């Protein structure tokens, strides 16, 4: 296996949290580009497999990626059973889990131990909780507080026509509360502008080698 920069920077972020260091700092590798929840999610794995200031000792990244991937598969199995009753639901769940595990893109993310499995896991959990506007909105908020792109699912999740105005507001409110609390709890001393510069602002200005453009 080989951990690429996404994996080891996530571990370094967890290391900094545990050692009471700023989560966002002037890092030349710009490893602090994610939301605070990404680094917090790696803390349990960093506690079990402490980072020893070496890029060859990243068992925390390996364990985190495996855990997120297995939790996603398990969540998809449960989701299939939620969507269909009886044996048909079990078959659908197993098919969803198998499709995730067999997909080349998810295998690549697992092999190089990125943090993408965290977002997949939280998104699947959001779908499992979709009947509750509070819980599903809060779970999507956690995904957004880890990486920011899941926020694009909020209009679909809130869906006023489906939920009604009151339940849609509950969903949006829970989402907003989680995201705002996460960001401001770990805001760097330099303030919101610096946080933007290190995270979303950087991502919006960087070239993307995988973009069709």
pLDDT tens for residues 81-92? 999 999 999 999
CA distances from 10 to 17, 59, 210 (A): 11, 12, 21
The average pLDDT across 151-157 equals 93
Q: Can you tell me which residue has the tokens 């960087």?
A: 206
Q: What is the CA radius of gyration of the chain?
A: 18
- Look at residue 149 and tell me whether its pLDDT is greater than 60: yes
Q: What is the pTM of this model?
A: 0.87
Rounded distance between C-alpha atoms, residue 63 and residue 3, angstroms: 11
pLDDT tens for residues 130-147? 999 999 999 999 999 999
CB atoms within 10 A of CB 54: 8
For the chain, how long is the longest CA-to-CA vector? 55
The reported pLDDT for the residue numbered 38 is 93
**27 in the Ramachandran plot: left (φ > 0), alpha (ψ -120 to 50) or beta?**
beta
Rounded distance between C-alpha atoms, residue 178 and residue 138, angstroms: 6
- Look at residue 170 and tell me whether its pLDDT is greater than 90: yes
- Look at residue 208 and tell me whether its pLDDT is greater than 80: no
pLDDT tens for residues 3-41? 566 777 888 889 899 999 988 888 777 778 889 999 999
Rounded distance between C-alpha atoms, residue 135 and residue 137, angstroms: 5
Among 52-56, 90-94, 200-204, the least confident range: 52-56
At how many degrees (to 10) do helices 104-111 and 59-83 cross?
A: 150
């Amino acid at each position: 296996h080989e951990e690429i920069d996404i994996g080891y920077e996530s571990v370094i972020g967890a290391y900094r949290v545990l050692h009471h260091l700023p989560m966002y700092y002037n890092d030349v590798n710009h490893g602090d580009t994610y939301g605070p929840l990404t680094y917090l999610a790696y803390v349990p794995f960093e506690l079990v497999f402490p980072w020893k200031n070496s890029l060859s000792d990243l068992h925390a990244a390996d364990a985190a990626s495996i855990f997120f991937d297995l939790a996603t598969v398990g969540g998809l199995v449960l989701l299939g059973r939620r969507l269909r009753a009886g044996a048909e639901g079990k078959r659908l769940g197993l098919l969803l889990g198998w499709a995730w595990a067999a997909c080349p893109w998810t295998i690549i993310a697992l092999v190089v131990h990125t943090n993408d499995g965290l977002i997949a896991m939280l998104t699947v959990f959001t779908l499992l909780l979709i009947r509750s506007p509070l819980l599903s909105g809060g779970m999507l908020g956690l995904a957004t507080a880890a990486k920011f792109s899941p926020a694009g699912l909020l209009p679909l999740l809130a869906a006023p026509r489906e939920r009604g105005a009151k339940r849609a507001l509950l969903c949006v409110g829970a989402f907003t509360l989680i995201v705002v609390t996460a960001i401001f709890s770990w805001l760097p001393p330099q303030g919101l502008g610096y946080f933007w510069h290190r995270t979303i602002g950087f991502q919006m200005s960087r070239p993307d080698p995988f973009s069709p453009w």
